[in-house]
Amino acid sequence: MDIIHTPSYEALSQEVANYIAKQVRSNPNVVLGLATGSTPTGMYKHLLEDHIVNKTSYRNVVTFNLDEYIGMHKLDSNSYYAFMEKHLFQHIDIQKEKIFIPDGLAVQLENECKSYEEKLNTYGPIDIQVLGLGENGHIGFNEPGTPFNSKTHVVELTDSTRKANARFFPNPVDVPTHALTMGIDSIMRAKEIILLVAGKNKAKALEQLVYGVVSESFPASVLKKHPCVKIYAESTVLEQSSIIA
């Protein structure tokens, strides 16, 4: 794993966006694995700026999102589909049929999971998978205890994850209890993984990732087994840890 120290969240977002935009320009058919939440929003902002200034085209790009809440319509403002539309998709020239996000309203959730894996196998492997780091080590919605060989599956969200996501909802009780998520094995099949770590509250999690053992009790630890992982960490995280980057 390579740890890349960035002086600020803005610098982290700009650097990662520059890297991804460069890959899109060099490989117009690139397959991107995308994440949601507060950490990647800056990256998406800079990707949009690049799209406008440098005319980087996403017409042939394929994207897969990590997860979606169960029971939430994609047009709900709190859905991850709506998040991606707001922050990226509606502003670029990507083809809608090349955007893949799990369907949280699927009648047969197990069939939806199998279908998503089939799409990953058809269009994949993912060239670049973007991840965030949960305080408890979760990646995607793969909570502690998730088997490393897991594929796309239904997950019950932990109290800590629901609490962390409550800031996105008008009322904490509105945070869904379950989600569909790409599994750890699904994530690890990507050719390259970019982990974004921002905010001093992620310092302990990053320390455990770097210095801890590989264990299903800390899902992100599996990244140590991947041949190509770049960790972009902002200074506020590193200042709160013993990590030297």
Q: Which residues are catalytic?
A: 67, 136, 138, 143
> How far, in whole angstroms, is CA 129 from its chain's centroid?
7
Collapsed DSSP state (helix, strand, coil) of residue 122: helix
Q: Rounded distance, CA 103 to CA 80, Å?
A: 10
Q: Rounded distance, CA 198 to CA 238, Å?
A: 9
Q: What residue type is 204 in one-letter code?
A: K
Cα separation of the two ends of the chain: 11
Q: What is the dihedral of CA 141, 146, 149, 150, to 10 degrees?
A: -50
Length of the chain: 245
DSSP state of 157: P
CA-wise closest residue to 219 among 230, 233, 209, 229: 209
Cis peptide before 125 (omega within 30 of 0): yes
Collapsed DSSP state (helix, strand, coil) of residue 128: strand
